[in-house]
Amino acid sequence: MLTRLSIKGPTATERMHTTLLKYPQHSNFKIGCSNLSSNMSLYQRFQNRVANWSRRRHGIDMEPFTITNRRIYILPTKLGLMYAAIIFAMALGGMNYGNNLALILAFMLGAMGFVAMHHCHRNLAGLHIHTLANEAVFAGQLAHLQLAIGNDSSQTRFAIQAAANQFASEPVRVEVNNAAQLSLPQMTTKRGWLCVDRVTLNTNYPFGLFHAWVVLHLEVKCLVYPKPIDKRDAPPPSPLDRHSVHERRTGNDEFSSLREFHAGDSPRHIAWKAFARSEELLVKQYSSTAATAYILDWDTLMSLDIEMRLSQLCRWIMDAHQQGIAYGIKMPGLQTPPQLGEAHRQHCLSALALFGN
């Protein structure tokens, strides 16, 4: 009797284990693959591939951009697929039982679906898109990117919505020969320019049976300031002669103007007569030319890293501006004299946001 011998080779798991033992430099391969699969789903990777293909095909869109028919994509929604399935079942039942009323109803509902598809597609065609100036925000806040939508056709456009990076705007209505403004929220995590180079404009009008969209490759950006730290240490005052700067502070000198009430203001400086007239809390400001000016020096924060220095300088700028004290900034590549005003504040914060870029 012959005995049948079976020789089994190593399994795939054993071969991988042997390879990792033999080549330890490749031991991170499995970890990298698992992180990739966990951080990016299959659907997200498919979306990125489609978006990259669309960008290679169309390139960067020039403003103002007009949406043409060839740029619009349209697919049925889940509700639309259910609607089609019901019509198919109704038509099948009508043919099986010879029910003419069921067939007529099925054909009428099918015709309504085709009309809805036509209106959904036309709801985007011919719109003019261009970007607007965006207000700067601090890191960690929501930035609101502004888009203007113009409609010079004879049809009102309904339920137009913008989306990018899993955030969507509120749907807007664009009247005939008019324009509407979309505010697209975006989360900010770090300072510098927040650039969104791909925005999707979509609509489900009129019945939600179809979803039409167009991918816009526009340069939409917003400046993000450093996040100010919570610690409120006062900056060291500089012994400068500030007779040329007219500072405003809350004191007992000559009355200068009124400003909004902030938490921590003394009740003795509240303008109660103005509150009785307008029901708005205002604080009296007094002028003086002998107050101390601040020079916010980068070199005084040697113990902190770069980002913490920028956050501390940002906090000092915000506090000095709120208190009405003149301040200047001294850092690598920039030195400004002490000044007041919103323009000076924006200039200093912009320098912090773009430091190193």
- Token output for 291: 């107050």
pLDDT at position 236:
56
Question: How many domains are contained in the chain?
Answer: 2
- Let me know whether 78 and 192 are in one domain: yes
- Let me know whether 137 and 219 are in one domain: yes
Reduce the DSSP state of residue 342 to 3 states and report it: helix
pLDDT at position 191:
94
Of 109, 76, 112, 73, which Cα lies nearest the Cα of 210? 76
- Let me know whether 72 and 206 are in one domain: yes
pLDDT at position 42:
82
Cα 199 off chain centre by: 11
- Let me know whether 178 and 249 are in one domain: no
Check: CB of residue 242 under 8 Å from CB of residue 289.
yes
**Which segment of 100-104, 134-138, 276-280, 341-345 scores lowest on mean pLDDT?**
276-280
- Let me know whether 251 and 203 are in one domain: no
- Let me know whether 150 and 241 are in one domain: no
- Let me know whether 241 and 213 are in one domain: no
- Let me know whether 101 and 246 are in one domain: no
pLDDT at position 302:
86
Per-residue pLDDT tens digits for 175-203: 999 999 999 999 999 999 999 989 999 99
* Rounded percentage of the chain residues whose pLDDT exceeds 90: 52
- Let me know whether 209 and 95 are in one domain: yes
Per-residue pLDDT tens digits for 144-161: 999 999 999 999 999 999
**Which segment of 97-101, 141-145, 260-264 scores lowest on mean pLDDT?**
260-264
Residue 288 falls within a domain, yes or no?
Answer: yes
CATH code, 65? 2.60.40.3770
Q: In what order do the strands lie in the sheet with 65-66?
A: 65-66, 128-131, 142-151, 178-187
Per-residue pLDDT tens digits for 1-41: 333 434 344 444 444 444 444 444 444 433 333 333 444 57
Residue 349 falls within a domain, yes or no?
Answer: yes
End-of-domain residue from the set 225, 257, 284: 225
Note the helical H segments in 62-143. 78-97, 100-122
- Let me know whether 169 and 297 are in one domain: no
Look at 119 and 293; give whichever has higher pLDDT: 119
- Let me know whether 181 and 324 are in one domain: no
- Token output for 98: 């010879």
Distance CA 114, CA 102 (A): 19
Q: pTM above 0.85?
A: no
pLDDT at position 77:
96
295's CB contacts (< 8 A; 6+ apart) are 235, 238, 240, 327, 328, 329, 330, 338
End-of-domain residue from the set 156, 190, 225: 225
Q: Identify the domain containing residue 330 by its residue range.
A: 237-353
